[in-house]
Amino acid sequence: MDALLAIQTRHSVKKVKTDRVPRETIEKLLAAGNDAPNHHKVRPWRFFVMTGEARARLGDVMAASQRERLPDLPPAGFDKTRALPQRAPLIIAVGVDRPSDERISEIENVCAAAAACQNILLAAHALGLGATWRTGEWADDKMVKEFFGLAPDQHLISFLYIGYAEGGTMFPQRPAVDDRVTWME
């Protein structure tokens, strides 16, 4: 798919089938993420690829964390949380390395990892998959970060939910760019 067409037609796909995504396809997505621009060649992204039971383990951690914060929530609330990672057969969570020396800045590492996320979304779209970038409260959850082996002050910037679209997908009406632009000569 042409790059501009991929950018223009990519959109969040929230309802996906349970069909598994083949390993070779997942590897293409990861390679696309790894092709993102980054300063000082630090490749600050960390990809956590979850399929099968790993999604259930993530759901357990999310529910346990919620139970600590909201002990009075009815059990149905925890069950709903536990089921969240089952919304797609593949989740790629993206963490960010902390700067490893003084030349490297935190914001630049986050920018590079965000570029990797967008590369993965575009690659997924080009490969006929649907995807949604999700964060919610879980991206800043200490127990969830610990599950991935990330430190509490490390950024976890996305859960990319990926699968084959279920039914027709909604293409959003996007506002024109004009009000975001200052032309300077």
Query: Which residues ranging from 109 to 168 are in contact with ligand FMN (CB under 6 A)?
Result: 132-136
CA–CA gap between residue 151 and residue 153 (Å, rounded): 5
Contact between 43 and ligand FMN per CB under 6 A: no
Q: Which residues pair with 159 in a beta bridge?
A: 93, 134
Choose which of 41, 172, 176, 184 interacts with ligand FMN (CB under 6 A): 172
Provide, rounded to whole angstroms, the least separation between the CB of residue 31 and ligand FMN. Answer: 21
- Classify residue 148 by its DSSP letter: T
Report the largest interatomic distance among the alpha carbons of the chain, rounded to a whole angstrom: 61
Provide, rounded to whole angstroms, the least separation between the CB of residue 117 and ligand FMN. Answer: 8
* Cβ distance to ligand FMN smaller for residue 5 or 27: 5
* Cβ distance to ligand FMN smaller for residue 56 or 110: 110
* Cβ distance to ligand FMN smaller for residue 86 or 135: 135
CA atoms within 13 A on the CB side of 75: 0
Provide, rounded to whole angstroms, the least separation between the CB of residue 102 and ligand FMN. Answer: 27
Query: Which residues ranging from 11 to 30 are in contact with ligand FMN (CB under 6 A)?
Result: 11-12
Contact of 3 with 152, CB cutoff 8 Å? no
* Cβ distance to ligand FMN smaller for residue 115 or 143: 115
Helices (H), 106-172: 106-126, 142-147
CA–CA gap between residue 114 and residue 33 (Å, rounded): 9
Give the interface with ligand FMN as residue ranges (CB under 6 A): 11-12, 132-136, 172
